Amino acid sequence: MTHRFSASRSFLIVLLLGWTTLVSAQPDQKSFNYGFVSPNTKTDLKLEQAIAGMKSAEEAKLLNKAVNLGCVVRTRIAAFRALGSWSDGAEHSVLVRVRGDEATLRYVLSRMGRDAEQKYVIYFHPMAGGKVDLYTLRPRTRRNLVALSNELERAGVPFSTIVPLREATTIYIIDLDRDLRPKIMNAAQRLRARVTQEPGNAKLFGDDERDKAKLKFEQEIKDYETKNPNLPPRPNPKRKSRLIPPPRKAVRTISTRANTKTIGAARKSSRWATTTFEW
């Protein structure tokens, strides 16, 4: 991933898969981790070039690598084609979804980032009481990637990662500083989207220089493999990626009237808290 990440701590990630509403929730032990890695090493790609890159050989290679790493860490990994878009550029990317601890997630992303010669990777690990929020938007109406990117930018969302699937689209936003909520709600209203908020831990790691980033990834890999010496030596190269839609989470929701424009108080518990908004 390019140098843009080091310029902003509040990193948004938007993935697309289809629906309508906003939600706030606390994770349980079965919640998914999410990682974001791009195979792109070029700079100044235009949106149309990034969209074309989603069908490239390097994209397919990174997708397969992500899924095959499930053999190494002994857990199922799902990977999805994605489009990263921001105000002055775009790039093709890959979303990784996996259950497990944070160390395993960092290991998987470090191997992907190293092999794809990336500067940075980013992830979200759900955790009760976490200091970072993951927002998931599911637009009610289906739109093409260009239209979605433009609508999110008009709503004030500075960065987005869009994952188009056959049925619909889904949007994930990692709010590192918890200062993006008004813009996220603006985007949800524009897209007539259902939004889910979840606390956890997130980290953007790597370096502005590729050689230094590679060293950091390799150190992360070495540390994990030292603590887990019985890992299989390599993934199965014949195992193909399966692009499976992220499942809907079973959450308790508090319904509000349609066209609600402000966030009301929500009930919370020590294990789970959810707020739903309809636009």
Confidence of residue 172 (pLDDT cuts 50, 70, 90): confident
Mean pLDDT, rounded, for 44-59? 94
**Which of 31, 32, 36 has the alpha carbon at shortest distance from 63?**
36
- Per the model's pLDDT, the better-predicted residue between 239 and 259 turns out to be 239
Q: How far is it, in rounded angstroms, from Cα 139 to Cα 269?
A: 28
Domain boundaries, the chain: 3-227
Residues 6+ apart with CB under 8 A from 101: 125
The whole-number pLDDT of residue 38 equals: 96
Q: How far is it, in rounded angstroms, from Cα 218 to Cα 141?
A: 42
DSSP label of 240: P
Confidence of residue 241 (pLDDT cuts 50, 70, 90): very low
The whole-number pLDDT of residue 10 equals: 46
Token couple for 233: 């030596």
Residue for token pair 């890999």: 221
Residue for token pair 């990034």: 50
The whole-number pLDDT of residue 158 equals: 82
Cβ burial, residue 124 (10 Å; 0-12/13-18/19+): buried
DSSP label of 113: H
Is residue 272 pLDDT above 60, yes or no? no
Confidence of residue 92 (pLDDT cuts 50, 70, 90): very high
Cβ distance 82 to 95 under 8 Å?
yes
Position 82, amino acid: A
Cβ distance 138 to 171 under 8 Å?
yes
The whole-number pLDDT of residue 236 equals: 52
Choose the weakest-confidence range: 50-54, 143-147, 213-217, 233-237: 233-237
Q: H or E element: which one contains 15?
A: none
Residues 6+ apart with CB under 8 A from 225: 107, 231
The DSSP bridge partners found for residue 123 are 35, 203
This prediction's pTM: 0.77
Is residue 258 pLDDT above 60, yes or no? no
The whole-number pLDDT of residue 13 equals: 45
Residues 6+ apart with CB under 8 A from 265: none
Is residue 101 pLDDT above 70, yes or no? yes
